[in-house]
Amino acid sequence: MTQQPDILCIGSVLWDVIGRAPSHMRVGSDVPGRITRLPGGVAMNIAMTLRRFGMRPALLSNVGRDAEGDALIAAAQGMGLVCDHLYRSDDLPTDVYMAIEGANGLIAAIADAHSLEAAGDKILRPLANGALAMPAAPWAGPVALDGNLTAELLREIATSALFGKADLRVAPASPGKAERLLALLGHPSATLYVNLEEAGLLCQTTFASSAAAAAGLIARGARRVLVTDGSNSASEATGTDIITQTPPAVMVTRVTGAGDTFMAAHIASEAQGMARDAALARACQAAATYVSGEIP
Ligand SMILES: Nc1ncnc2c1ncn2[C@@H]1O[C@H](COP(=O)(O)OP(=O)(O)OP(=O)(O)O)[C@@H](O)[C@H]1O
Ligand SMILES: O=c1[nH]cc([C@@H]2O[C@H](CO)[C@@H](O)[C@H]2O)c(=O)[nH]1
């Protein structure tokens, strides 16, 4: 039986292939280490985290009809993610992201999300054909949308009636793709989740604080934004005010994924009816707990 989701995660769902070595690495290094494969892609990461916070996300993406795709869907279903609405392409392979991490941090990464880009608006069919929604009754719940979609598709979403009633929560896929989100900046029901660097890229400037960045994005037409800045304060801004809070101090053992944890905790807190201050505090706390190495 198809499970009814309470949030849609739209964007990349792929395999992360991560090579990790304990040594300091540079261009051309060839060192012993470990290579692992785990479910990834921004939409998938957000969905996995939302699930931990008690929500029931459905994935909208392209997954190939290949062995990698079958294994990825089995992993997602095992975590309780709704996979019934994924587009399974016969000719587009499952996407993959590859990163090399040394003792000195991320050395380099390549995101091959070409199949998602090629699938285009086919991934959105369940929002029009009645499977999840239809033009006469558009999806009226939360949507976590990632910036792996092409700028063209993001522009279409920004004006589509299929998203006219949705509570859009938007995350960039990487600093390199941050500018794709410009199409959604003026969307009347979009909330943007960005870090300080991404806020600067969207506004073509640099900001000294999350509050300044949040104000800058509102000035550029955003309806609501949340800006994080690592251990420094995080801010939420609307057209009327800005609230700012400082995450609790913790010992950092991991950083990748902090932004996803912040966003998922914030969305889940609001879905549970928490007020703005409380939701921001819970998101800061959850992401700080995550970077400290614990599971929030
Ligand atoms: N050093 C830290 N100490 C405490 N909390 C932190 C630290 N780094 C990150 N956090 C928590 O995580 C949130 C998001 O961090 P950050 O701004 O680094 O996100 P990000 O750059 O999107 O992360 P990533 O891209 O690695 O997932 C912060 O608002 C904070 O709550
Ligand atoms: O362009 C992209 N870069 C990185 C990711 C994902 O983000 C995580 C790393 O920051 C990782 O899961 C990767 O798949 C993506 O989906 N698109």
Output the CA 243–ligand 1 centroid distance in Å.
17
pLDDT digits (tens, 9 = 90+) for 200-219: 999 999 999 999 999 999 99
Q: What pLDDT does 220 receive?
A: 96
Q: What pLDDT does 176 receive?
A: 87
Residue nearest to atom 19 of ligand 1 (CA): 259
Q: What pLDDT does 2 receive?
A: 62
Domains and CATH numbers, the chain: 7-13+40-94+113-291 (3.40.1190.20)
pLDDT digits (tens, 9 = 90+) for 112-128: 999 999 999 999 999 99
Residue nearest to atom 9 of ligand 2 (CA): 256
Q: Could you tell me what percent of the chain has a pLDDT over 70?
A: 99
Does position 1 have pLDDT exceeding 70, yes or no?
no
pLDDT digits (tens, 9 = 90+) for 3-41: 799 999 999 999 999 999 999 999 999 999 999 999 999
Report whether residue 171 contacts ligand 1, using a CB cutoff of 6 Å.
no
Q: What pLDDT does 175 receive?
A: 86
**To the nearest whole number, what is the mean pLDDT of the chain?**
95
Output the CA 148–ligand 2 centroid distance in Å.
9
3-state secondary structure string across the chain: CCCCCCEEEECCCEEEEEEECCCCCCCCCCCCCEEEEEEECHHHHHHHHHHHCCCCEEEECEEECCHHHHHHHHHHHHCCCECCCCEEECCCCCCEEEEEEECCEEEEEEEECHHHHHHHHHHHHHHCCCCCCECCECCCCEEEEECCCCHHHHHHHHHCHHHCCCEEEEECCCHHHHHHHHHHCCCCCEEEEEEHHHHHHHHCCCCCCHHHHHHHHHHCCCCEEEEEECCEEEEEEECCCEEEECCCCCCCCCCCCHHHHHHHHHHHHHHCCCCHHHHHHHHHHHHHHHHCCCCC
Q: Could you tell me what percent of the chain has a pLDDT over 90?
A: 93
pLDDT digits (tens, 9 = 90+) for 240-262: 999 999 999 999 887 788 999 99
Q: Residues 104-111: what's their mean pLDDT?
A: 93
Report whether residue 292 contacts ligand 1, using a CB cutoff of 6 Å.
no
Q: Residues 145-158: what's their mean pLDDT?
A: 96
Tell me what ipTM this predicted complex has: 0.97
Report whether residue 247 contacts ligand 1, using a CB cutoff of 6 Å.
yes
